[in-house]
A and B are shown apart, each in its own frame.
Chain A
Amino acid sequence: MEEKKYHLTKEAFNKYKEEYKKIKEELRKKRIEMKESRDELWRPEDLNCDYEPLESELISLEVRLKELENILKNAIIIKNNKENTPKKVTVGTKVLVKVNGKTTDEFIIVDSLESNPFLGKISVESPVGKALLGKSEGDTVIVQSATKTTYKILKISYE
Chain B
Amino acid sequence: MNDKKDLIEFLINIGRLKRKKRKGWTVLHNIKNSESTADHIFRVAILAWILGQEKKLNLEKVIKMALIHDICEVYAEDETPYDPVLPKDRKKIKEIIKKRSRTLYSLKEREEKLKRKFENEFKALKKITSKLPRKLRKEMIELWLEFENRSTKEGKFVKQLDKMENLLQALEYWKEQGQIQRDLWIIAAREWCIDPLLIEILNEIDKKFSKKRKFSTKK
Task: Please report A residues at the B interface, Cβ cutoff 8 Å.
Answer: 1-2, 44, 48, 52-53, 55-56, 59-60, 63-64, 67, 70, 99, 103, 105, 107, 112-113, 115-120, 122-123, 125-129, 143, 145-147, 149
Q: Beyond A52-B130, A118-B102, list 10 extra A-B contacts (CB 8 Å).
A: A55-B138, A63-B146, A67-B149, A105-B100, A120-B102, A123-B194, A125-B194, A145-B207, A147-B183, A149-B186
* B187 pairs with A2, CB closer than 8 A: no
Separation of A1 and B152 alpha carbons in the complex (Å) = 5
Of B2, B100, B192, B203, the residue contacting A115 (CB under 8 A) is: B192
Separation of A149 and B151 alpha carbons in the complex (Å) = 30
* A60 pairs with B190, CB closer than 8 A: no
* B210 pairs with A146, CB closer than 8 A: yes
Separation of A118 and B58 alpha carbons in the complex (Å) = 29
Closest to A121 in B: B191
Name the residue among A112, A117, A119 with the largest chain B CB count within 10 angstroms. A117
Contacts of A105 in B (CB 8 A): 100, 103
Q: List 13 A-B contacts (CB under 8 A).
A: A2-B151, A2-B152, A2-B153, A2-B156, A52-B137, A59-B145, A60-B141, A63-B141, A63-B149, A119-B110, A145-B186, A145-B207, A149-B190
Q: How far is the CB of A156 from chain B (nearest CB, A)?
A: 18
**B129-167, CB < 8 A from A:** 129-131, 134, 137-138, 141-142, 145-146, 149-153, 156
1/0 contact string of B174-192 vs chain A (CB within 8 Å):
0000000011001110111
Any A CB within 8 A of the CB of B87 = no
* B152 pairs with A128, CB closer than 8 A: no
* List of 3 A-B pairs having minimum Cβ-Cβ separation, nearest first: A146-B210, A145-B203, A117-B191
* A60 pairs with B122, CB closer than 8 A: yes
Q: Would A63 and B111 be within 8 Å (CB), given that A1-B151, A127-B193, A146-B203 are in contact?
A: no
Closest to B210 in A: A146
Of A59, A103, A117, the residue contacting B142 (CB under 8 A) is: A59
Q: How far is the CB of A63 from chain B (nearest CB, A)?
A: 5
Q: How far is the CB of A20 from chain B (nearest CB, A)?
A: 13
Contacts of A127 in B (CB 8 A): 190, 193, 199, 202
Contacts of B131 in A (CB 8 A): 48
B interface, size bucket: 35 or more
B-side binding surface: helix, strand, loop or mixed? helix
Q: How far is the CB of B125 from chain A (nearest CB, A)?
A: 8
Contacts of A70 in B (CB 8 A): 151
Q: How far is the CB of B84 from chain A (nearest CB, A)?
A: 12
Q: How far is the CB of B83 from chain A (nearest CB, A)?
A: 12
* A147 pairs with B186, CB closer than 8 A: yes
Of A63, A112, A143, A149, the residue contacting B156 (CB under 8 A) is: A112
Q: How far is the CB of A118 from chain B (nearest CB, A)?
A: 5
Closest to B141 in A: A59
* B152 pairs with A48, CB closer than 8 A: no
* A143 pairs with B190, CB closer than 8 A: yes
Contacts of B129 in A (CB 8 A): 56
Separation of A117 and B100 alpha carbons in the complex (Å) = 10
